[in-house]
Structure 1
Amino acid sequence: MEENGVVSQAVALVACIAMAVFYVGILYAPTVVLRLPPPPSFQTFMIRRFLCAVVSSFLSLLLSALILPVQTKKLRHIFGVFGIRGDHIWQAVVIPLCLTSLMYAGSMFLKCLLLLASWRQRTNSGAVLSLDSCKCALQRFLDWLSAISSNVLVWRNYVVAPLTEELVFRACMIPLLLYGGFETYSVILLCPVFFSLAHLNHFVEIYTKQNYRIMKAVMVIGLQLCYTVVFGSYASFLFIRTGHLIAPLVAHIYCNFMGLPVLYSQKSGFVSVTFIIGFLGFLWLLFPMTGPDLYNDRIDNCSCWQGYCTWSERIRIPQT
């Protein structure tokens, strides 16, 4: 046991590495281990991966629960350790979403410019706002919703991947590392390393299936890994500060939807100005909008995640 933790740092690290490797490795289990025939369609292929990701998440939660010395039968406390809570939901959804959207101020400004240009084009072509045009727009919107609801990539990008990744790389790993005696900022920097390593399999897929040259594949994956490290640090920060799994989950879904922030556009220099303003606002509001008191009724005069320093009293962790 470590002096500052109830789980040794070695055990915490090995467990996190094992969960990261297992999260990726199980994706190939149907064909490599179970020797199942290749899926007949892309949709079947993705559904297999969805099931594998769900199994990996469940087993990671089970492993963490076995390692963490939580001696209570109250499900509310057990789930609370992993940030799975039913209280302060609207705060965990709205506040992190507003904070994250500041990073996309340039992107939103550009989208508004494109929407305005499209509206002007329709107006110049003689189109007028009428009941029929509104009905047509509504019908197109409903058709779009129907199309994306049956799109397996939409389910992967906005449901399965964010949910399973946040469960494994935030809910399971962060409590282990905190209990292992790692400092908070070390955890914020360490978790994204595991998170980015879980995306290395994309290099093999891009290099082999998309016939990229090795240098191009390295550049593409390198950019992706840098982005996952930055986002992973932010998601870990949200989880530690709020103690709520929904906070990084909402940010994850939103970032997947928006993609990389737009820093510059030839259409208008104000896009860059808007991005800078949003970025400065993000930095200014980062700590105030993630204050633990906004997401918890009681923090016992403690600024750490979920009153981490008082966990030993609330869930009866044996002291060493």
Structure 2
Amino acid sequence: MQVEHTHTRCSLCVLSCLFLACLYVGSLYVWRRRLPRDHPSVIKRRCVSVLLVSALSPAVVKTWIQWADVRVGVPVWELMGVRTDGLVLAALLPLLLTMVFYLGPLIHSAVDNPNGFTGEMQSVLDVQSWRLCVGDAVWLRNQVVAPMTEELVFRGAMLPMLVPCTGPTGAIFTAPLFFGVAHLHHVIEQRRLGKESMSVILLVAGMQFLYTTVFGAFTAFIFMRTGHVVGPVLCHSFCNSQGLPDISSALQHPQRSALLVSYLMGALLFLVLLFPLTDPYFYGAIPICSLAPPPASLC
């Protein structure tokens, strides 16, 4: 009887996650349009759609809790990582960890800046530059709306539903699959524009699925270790601003030896600091861990 109940719970979990993923992607296509995805009017409409889906995601989690007969001792929002305990460290430490990983690209950017590190810092602190960014629809989508809504739906909502079925480790590697598949809708858009052949579109989509899945596993790990969604959101935003590390450009750079060392040091420091900077000790009792079947090693 217990096995049957677990099977039903897991089936409901998968269906709920699929429903959320389809709802998120489907909301992007409810608007009739002939304009490119980066047109301001298209961006605004799509932002409204995904914000509505994000607002509905707690109701999906709440419904799953009732249907799957899961006992939860905290509000749904706290389960989804929206809480105050340990908030400041949950925002700063995962972001610091992500910046450590990007040590190579950050040094690379500073080396190519005519004013060096000083110029990089000035551009970061330039108020006028930030004002221009806030007024740019593409920037708002990539740096604010997409990270916030995707992390809330694909981590905050899906992980609590997955953990009772798969455990923390299994959830970390399962949730990103929904995230990766959700990005395959770009195939439709690229095919509609007709700028590339289908083979090139599929190759790009495959690569995108790979790195979005790996990135999704990282932010799911952050969520499980901190119990906060703010860390994944900030890490997501920072990674969107940086893009993939351009190692090929570093290999062709006049100072390639120094740059390659910085890339390598960033990767090594990231691995060394991964667990210490995400130690649950910093973040208080983690609500999602109460759903994990023993042994919950990552909690």
TM-score, scaled relative to structure 1: 0.79
Tell me the equivalent position of 1:165. Answer: 150
1:105-139 deviations in whole A, cap 9, x for unaligned? 11011112112xx138xxxxxxxxxxxxxxxx89x
The 1:64–1:252 alpha-carbon spacing in structure 2 relative to 1, beyond 3 Å, is same
SS in 2 for 1:212: coil
Question: Residue 296 of structure 2 aligns with which residue?
Answer: none
1:210 Cα shift? 5.2
- Separation in 2, partners of 1:88, 1:242: 8
Aligned to 1:195: 179
Counterpart selection for 1:54 from 33, 51, 56 = 51
Partner of 1:151: 136
The change in CA–CA distance for 1:63 and 1:308 in structure 2 (over 3 A counts) is closer
Find the partner of 2:206 among 222, 225, 230: 222
User: Deviations along 1:80-99, whole A, 9 cap, x unmatched?
Assistant: 11110122121011100111
Which amino acid in structure 1 is aligned with residue 115 of structure 2?
Answer: W
SS state at 1:8 partner: helix
Q: CA RMSD in A?
A: 2.8
SS in 2 for 1:87: coil
User: What corresponds to 2:260 in structure 1?
Assistant: 272
Structure 2 matches for 1:1-320, cutoff 5 A? 3=3, 8-31=9-32, 42-69=39-66, 77-115=75-113, 118-119=114-115, 141-179=126-164, 181-209=165-193, 211-264=195-248, 265=250, 266-267=252-253, 268=255, 269-296=257-284, 298=285, 305-309=288-292
For 1:306 and 1:250, locate their aligned partners in 2 and report how far apart those are by CA, in whole Å.
22
Over residues 34-92 of structure 1, what are the superposed CA-to-partner deviations in whole Å (9 max), with x where a residue is unaligned? xxx767992111111011101111222211112114778x9x73321111012212101
Q: Structure 1 residues 230 and 252 mapped into 2: Cα distance closer, same or farther (>3 Å)?
A: same
**Structure of higher CA gyration radius:** 1
- 8 Å contact 1:162–1:252 — kept in the other structure? yes
Contact 1:5–1:178, Cα closer than 8 Å, also in 2: no
Distance 1:113 1:81 in 2: 43
Q: Which amino acid aligns with 1:43?
A: P
Query: Do the aligned partners of residues 141 and 307 (structure 1) sit closer, same or farther apart at CA in structure 2, a change above 3 Å counting?
Result: same
Distance 1:223 1:2 in 2: 41
Which one-letter code corresponds to 2:190 in the other structure? I
8 A Cα contact 1:7 1:68, kept in partner: no
Paired amino acid for 2:263: F
CA distance in 2, matches of 1:78, 1:261: 36
The offset of 1:212, in angstroms, is 0.9
TM-score by length of 2: 0.84
- Report the Cα distance in structure 1 between the residues aligned to 2:58 and 2:288, rounded to whole angstroms: 19
Which runs of 5 or more residues in structure 2 are unaligned? 117-121, 294-299
Distance 2:7 2:75 in 1: 18
CA contact (8 A) 2:79 2:288 kept: no
In structure 2, the CA distance between the partners of 1:110 and 1:2, relative to structure 1 (3 Å rule), is farther
Is the 2:167–2:292 Cα contact (8 Å) retained in structure 1?
Answer: no
